[in-house]
Amino acid sequence: MNTMKPLLYLALAGFAATCSLTAQDKLAGGPYVINVTQRSATVAWVVDSGAAVLSIGGKAVKSSPALHVEKAQFTGLQAGTKYDYEIPGHPEATGSFQTAPTPGSAFQFVAYGDTRTRDDVHRKVVEAILKYSLPDFIVQTGDMVPDGSDSSFWPTFFDIERQLLRKAPYFPALGNHERNDSFFYEFFGGKAYYSFNWGNAHFTILDSDIPNVAATAAARDAFWAEETRWLEEDLKRSQNAEYRFVVAHHPPMTAVAKRQGDNPHMTALMPMFEKYKVTAAIFGHDHNYQHYLKNGVHYIITGGGGAPLYDVDTPPADITQKVISTENFVVFKVDGKKLHIEALDPSGETIEITDITH
């Protein structure tokens, strides 16, 4: 009898990677692509090795899968090039992505977030993105699942996102519902905050979930001080980019009255955004759509990915462009010195259009 474990091969543009799967292992998420640059990319997929079961008095009450991630890293790729990939033995596990283009190339990306609950709504938002946009990559503003430390939620997330994740690289921000858990880092690249370039734009992804960073106030303060130092250096180095985008979960202002003043650490960053000429700062956390313009910086909140909606009852005076309590996603189209921003609801109805010309 042949006792050799079957091998899972992933092929991409002539490269190959292998990993061993035991008989009970199954594909629980992906494949999807992270850490994409002009010359490199990582293809990842989530493996379910079976579920642990909790019982009370002999009656099963809860099960949770044992998940781990397999990754294949590729270097020496060509800029602005589409690659197809596949995992042999899993005909459903195919996809494609495009590497980051050189400056001057037109591109588009989509931003959305707070997909953590109401799976049916989350599914409608993803279906709408696939129908109404052709993103080169995806920006997620956090709160992907109800509790990022509970492995039972992640297979549902990956199932709903499956077709979208197989078409475009994924750049998520850490939300408070991810609980700063190791699953987030294992699944999405191992970094709490990071930056990347795409064409003539620079993107900075922040970890704004300071309460979950550490157990003590001193450690949380030290983390935030280091992150903000890194942020300023990152923005300073990106001044040659035509556009600068900052992404985080917690917004610096809000039209949700009960949440106003909740994120002073983010509000304190606004002068830095102005100093380094950030084009747009993109957030989630509030389950609606909001857009503000203050001192040349656009602040967009897109937290309508599935979580229960919040009212927009007290919009900040003077800076409000549009606020509406609805599910949504936002498409950004960059073409040279022109930036077209369109917010849509899951039916494809336009919520707001903003055009910026440099």
Q: Return the ∠ at Cα 207 (arms to 355 and 27), rounded to 5°.
A: 95
Residue 260: CB atoms within 10 A of its CB come to 12
Co-location of 284 and 137 in the same domain: yes
Give tens-digit pLDDT for 186-217: 999 989 999 999 999 999 999 999 999 999 99
Quote the pLDDT of residue 190.
86
* Largest CA-CA distance found in the chain, in angstroms, rounded: 75
What single-letter DSSP state applies at residue 145?
A: S
Average pLDDT along the chain: 92
Block means of pLDDT (10 residues each) for the chain, 358 residues, are 33 40 74 97 94 90 92 96 85 92 96 97 98 97 98 97 97 98 95 97 98 96 98 98 98 97 97 98 98 98 98 96 98 97 98 96
Cβ of 54: how many Cβ atoms within 10 Å? 10
Is residue 13 within 8 Å of 33, Cβ to Cβ?
Answer: no
State which residues form the domain around 75.
Answer: 1-97
What is the value of pTM for the model shown?
0.92
93 and 104 co-located in one domain: no
Token pair recorded at residue 118: 């109401």
Q: What is the DSSP string of 248-304?
A: -SS-S--S-GGGTTS-HHHHTTHHHHHHTT-SEEEE-SSSSEEEEEETTEEEEEE--
- Same domain, residue pair 253 and 350: yes
Domain end (from 97, 130, 148): 97
Q: Which pLDDT score, from 0 to 100, does residue 90 have? A: 76
Q: Which residue, of 78, 97, 116, is where some domain finishes?
A: 97
- pLDDT at residue 16 in the model: 37
Counted domains in the chain: 2
Asked if residue 252 and residue 195 are part of one domain, the reply reads: yes
> How high is the pLDDT of residue 3?
34
For residue 73, give the CATH number of its domain.
Answer: 2.60.40
Please report the pLDDT score of residue 159 as a whole number. Answer: 97
In the three-class reduction of DSSP (H, G, I as helix; E, B as strand; rest coil), residue 352 is classed as strand
CB 15 within 8 A of CB 2: no
